[in-house]
Chains A and B, each alone.
Chain A
Amino acid sequence: MALLEVRDLTVQFVRRGEQSFTAVDNVSFDVEPGQTVGLVGESGCGKSVTSLAIMRLLAKRGNKVTGSVRFEGTDLLKLSTKDMSDRRGRDLGMVFQDPLSSLNPVIPIGLQITEVLERHRGMSRKAASVEAVDLLDKVGIPDPSRRLSEYPHQLSGGMRQRALIAIALACRPRLLIADEPTTALDVTIQAQILALLRELVQDTGTALIMITHDLGVVAGLCDEVNVLYGGKIVERAQRHQLFAEPRHPYTHGLLASIPRLDAGRGEKLIPIRGSVSDNIPWDHGCAFAPRCPNALPVCREVQPQLVPDRGGLLRCHNPVRPAVAAGGGTR
């Protein structure tokens, strides 16, 4: 049995008197113990909302969440508020994008770690403090015992993200959701944080859902990748498969728009034209059709279904052919 089974997860933003907007549309995926799964897509594709829905952190008002999120067989969406709160931090942890604003500015780092240990593991303040030193040490913070009494603003950006990871992993959750954990950091620190995450995941056997728009992060970390577009999964593949032979024109466009080491000298980067605002509703065809270089007339009429494709899944009427993809561009 998979550790996490997300089935037909749908999140609608509902406003009275307005048409509701479907941010996440029938998303299903599994996470096996110890596996790292990527959710990739540009801003507004629903990847963060998916993670918040799994953690049940979306406000009740204005959001309609349907489907099921089974964690070790228990549907998280059906748990009482209290039971869910007991599981957060203990079974599922989360690391957010901006490490400065995600830490409480008026409480020392140490107290923010011990708070979680006291809450879930029933430790005394003193025992929790000892454990906190270990945790900070493990995430590579130098002189951890001194850091305990320091405040978030006294740490550097990379340190703060390390501290957040330490807090999220304090109770050894079996699943960690990282929502763009490196976006607010500069490139050298990004690499360190990713290396740290990879190491921790390997050491502790924690499953990881990596939410990112950065394919470089995916390449370095994920076993399996889900590409989201317009709230739906448009392609799922193993990491190597995805990079070697992207099938969906959107995935292909994402890959063509980032620089590659093996590209020829002077080769141009090809952006995906248009923006998310060009999307057409899924029930009128493929949301990506207006921006798609491969679009056929059928793409604007019939909604493509998610079908098995080369060991993964694909939602496209006219996928990129491997030979063309290897050629480095379709336009």
Chain B
Amino acid sequence: MNTLLNKKKEPIDKLAAASGNSLGREALRRMLRSPVAITGGVITGLFVLLAVFAPLIAPKDPFERYLQDKVALGQGIIPGSQPGFPLGVDDFGRDELSRLIVGAQNTLLVGVLATVIGVLLGIIIGGLAGAFGGWVDTVLMRLVDVMLSVPSLLLAISVAALFAKPSQWTVILAVSLIGVPIFARLLRGSMLTQRSSDHVLAATSLGVKRGAIVFRHMLPNSLGPVIVQATLTLATAILEAAALSFLGLGDPDPNRAEWGIMLSKGARQFLDVRPELAYYPAIAIIIVALGFTLLGESLREALDPKNRR
């Protein structure tokens, strides 16, 4: 009897302790074995490290206007390449490499925060619509229709313009709103599929409470597409934030280093004379977006228990 009890005890403890996060732990274990996940993780990790330690890594002061004296004497060209500046200098004579490194910080903040806020709002709206259906669904989806019918940049501009003093935060909020209708639609769609699924019917037939059905049975089965969409949105969020800043609806500080702003400025003003000023931030954005996308894709795969061996 005692041995039987002990035999039973161990996995039960494991279940009791791990039932909440065993899915997460299992997913982590699987991701560590997937080359896609590792590539995505390394890129994203480096980007985050770069962003956090940017002031220590940057070789020069990103805000200092170098070479002003030389330009005045007609000896130098800005923007252009100069000895001692690996990626050249921008139109104010600031070191491009240092600005890229420091810019990682703002870019990470804007991109990630805007996406996260967008996903959260989208999950709330889509989750409510999918969980309740009926008139709640109708009302919320018409709201989403309205948001979708306004061109995304126009929507963001109107939101950003609502605030008297433009800042980084208005940009984040405005950009996050662009993603909301897409996330809401995606989640609502998969929630509705779940609603009529056999396992939800089976759970209902067991008397499982409505809240548990929504949060334990419907939501976890519906989040996959939202996670993938979020990783794709991250890259666009960076670019949309840049567009807003360019239009003067962002942080007005001209010293501010951010990849999106650097890209739009480089692309609009210097593409024919110094195209590399657009290329560098563009390449940086592409690499980071790739990292997040790979990470998101492998995360979705790892979280799907059907892929488990």
Give the B-binding residues of A (Cβ under 8 A).
55, 57, 85-90, 93-94, 96, 98, 101-108, 110-111, 115-116, 119-120, 125-126, 129-130, 133, 145-146, 148-149, 151, 153-154, 164, 167-168
Given contacts A88-B205, A96-B202, A130-B12, 15 further A-B contacts (CB under 8 A): A57-B205, A85-B204, A87-B207, A96-B205, A98-B198, A102-B199, A103-B202, A105-B305, A107-B216, A107-B220, A110-B19, A116-B207, A119-B209, A119-B212, A168-B206
Smallest Cβ-Cβ distance to A177: which chain B residue: B205
Which among B197, B207, B221 is the interface contact of A90 at CB below 8 angstroms? B207
Roughly how many angstroms separate A102 CA and B204 CA in the complex, as a whole number? 11
- For residue B203, CB closer than 8 A to chain A, the reply is yes
Contact check, B305 vs A115: say whether CB atoms are below 8 A apart.
no
- For residue B16, CB closer than 8 A to chain A, the reply is yes
Contact check, A120 vs B19: say whether CB atoms are below 8 A apart.
no
Contact check, A89 vs B14: say whether CB atoms are below 8 A apart.
no
Roughly how many angstroms separate A93 CA and B216 CA in the complex, as a whole number? 20
Contact check, A151 vs B308: say whether CB atoms are below 8 A apart.
yes
Which among B7, B15, B208, B210 is the interface contact of A108 at CB below 8 angstroms? B15
CB B33 to nearest CB in A, in angstroms, measures: 18
- For residue B274, CB closer than 8 A to chain A, the reply is no
Roughly how many angstroms separate A55 CA and B308 CA in the complex, as a whole number? 34
CB A4 to nearest CB in B, in angstroms, measures: 15
- For residue B8, CB closer than 8 A to chain A, the reply is yes
- For residue B23, CB closer than 8 A to chain A, the reply is yes
Contact check, A55 vs B12: say whether CB atoms are below 8 A apart.
no
- For residue B11, CB closer than 8 A to chain A, the reply is yes
Scoring B19, B22, B23, B217 by chain A CB atoms within 10 A of each residue's CB, the highest score goes to B19
Given known contacts A101-B198, A106-B221, is B212 in contact with A115 (CB within 8 Å)? yes
Smallest Cβ-Cβ distance to A106: which chain B residue: B220
Contact check, B202 vs A149: say whether CB atoms are below 8 A apart.
no
- Chain B residues near A145: list those with CB within 8 A: 7-8, 10-12
- For residue B306, CB closer than 8 A to chain A, the reply is yes
Roughly how many angstroms separate A105 CA and B216 CA in the complex, as a whole number? 11
Which among B12, B16, B22 is the interface contact of A133 at CB below 8 angstroms? B12
Contact check, B207 vs A103: say whether CB atoms are below 8 A apart.
no
Enumerate 28 A-B pairs (CB-CB under 8 Å) in ascending A order: A55-B205, A88-B206, A93-B206, A96-B201, A96-B202, A96-B205, A98-B198, A101-B199, A103-B202, A106-B221, A106-B303, A106-B305, A107-B217, A108-B15, A115-B216, A116-B206, A119-B206, A119-B209, A119-B212, A120-B207, A126-B16, A129-B15, A145-B8, A145-B11, A148-B12, A149-B14, A167-B206, A168-B206
Which among A89, A94, A105, A148 is the interface contact of B15 at CB below 8 angstroms? A148
Roughly how many angstroms separate A116 CA and B207 CA in the complex, as a whole number? 8
- Chain B residues near A151: list those with CB within 8 A: 305, 308
Contact check, A85 vs B207: say whether CB atoms are below 8 A apart.
yes
Give the A-binding residues of B (Cβ under 8 A).
7-8, 10-12, 14-16, 18-19, 22-23, 197-199, 201-210, 212, 216-217, 220-221, 303, 305-306, 308
Smallest Cβ-Cβ distance to A88: which chain B residue: B207
Contact check, B19 vs A108: say whether CB atoms are below 8 A apart.
yes
Roughly how many angstroms separate A110 CA and B210 CA in the complex, as a whole number? 20
Smallest Cβ-Cβ distance to A125: which chain B residue: B16
Given known contacts A106-B305, A130-B8, A151-B305, is B22 in contact with A115 (CB within 8 Å)? no
Which among B11, B16, B208 is the interface contact of A115 at CB below 8 angstroms? B208
Roughly how many angstroms separate A111 CA and B220 CA in the complex, as a whole number? 14
Which among A98, A105, A111, A116 is the interface contact of B19 at CB below 8 angstroms? A111
Scoring B206, B217, B305 by chain A CB atoms within 10 A of each residue's CB, the highest score goes to B206
- Chain A residues near B221: list those with CB within 8 A: 104-106
- Per DSSP, are chain B's interface residues mostly helix, strand or loop, or mixed? helix
CB A293 to nearest CB in B, in angstroms, measures: 38
CB A166 to nearest CB in B, in angstroms, measures: 12
CB B207 to nearest CB in A, in angstroms, measures: 4
Contact check, A108 vs B306: say whether CB atoms are below 8 A apart.
no
- Chain A residues near B209: list those with CB within 8 A: 85, 119
Given known contacts A104-B217, A104-B221, is B208 in contact with A116 (CB within 8 Å)? yes
Roughly how many angstroms separate A55 CA and B23 CA in the complex, as a whole number? 32
Contact check, B22 vs A108: say whether CB atoms are below 8 A apart.
yes
- Chain A residues near B203: list those with CB within 8 A: 104
- Chain A residues near B23: list those with CB within 8 A: 106
Roughly how many angstroms separate A195 CA and B19 CA in the complex, as a whole number? 32
Scoring A102, A153, A164 by chain B CB atoms within 10 A of each residue's CB, the highest score goes to A102
Enumerate the 7 nearest inter-chain pairs by beta-carbon distance, A residue then B residue, closest first.
A89-B207, A89-B206, A88-B207, A101-B198, A94-B205, A102-B202, A129-B12
CB B11 to nearest CB in A, in angstroms, measures: 4
- Chain A residues near B308: list those with CB within 8 A: 151, 153-154
Contact check, B198 vs A110: say whether CB atoms are below 8 A apart.
no
Given known contacts A108-B22, A129-B15, A130-B12, is B197 in contact with A101 (CB within 8 Å)? yes
Smallest Cβ-Cβ distance to B11: which chain A residue: A145
Roughly how many angstroms separate A86 CA and B208 CA in the complex, as a whole number? 8
- Chain B residues near A129: list those with CB within 8 A: 12, 15-16
Roughly how many angstroms separate A90 CA and B22 CA in the complex, as a whole number? 28
Contact check, B16 vs A102: say whether CB atoms are below 8 A apart.
no
- Chain B residues near A104: list those with CB within 8 A: 199, 203, 216-217, 221
CB B4 to nearest CB in A, in angstroms, measures: 10
CB B26 to nearest CB in A, in angstroms, measures: 9
Given known contacts A115-B212, A133-B8, A153-B305, is B199 in contact with A86 (CB within 8 Å)? no
CB B242 to nearest CB in A, in angstroms, measures: 37
CB A47 to nearest CB in B, in angstroms, measures: 16
Scoring A89, A106, A130, A168 by chain B CB atoms within 10 A of each residue's CB, the highest score goes to A106
Roughly how many angstroms separate A151 CA and B221 CA in the complex, as a whole number? 14
Roughly how many angstroms separate A119 CA and B16 CA in the complex, as a whole number? 16
Scoring B7, B8, B19, B199 by chain A CB atoms within 10 A of each residue's CB, the highest score goes to B199
CB B52 to nearest CB in A, in angstroms, measures: 33
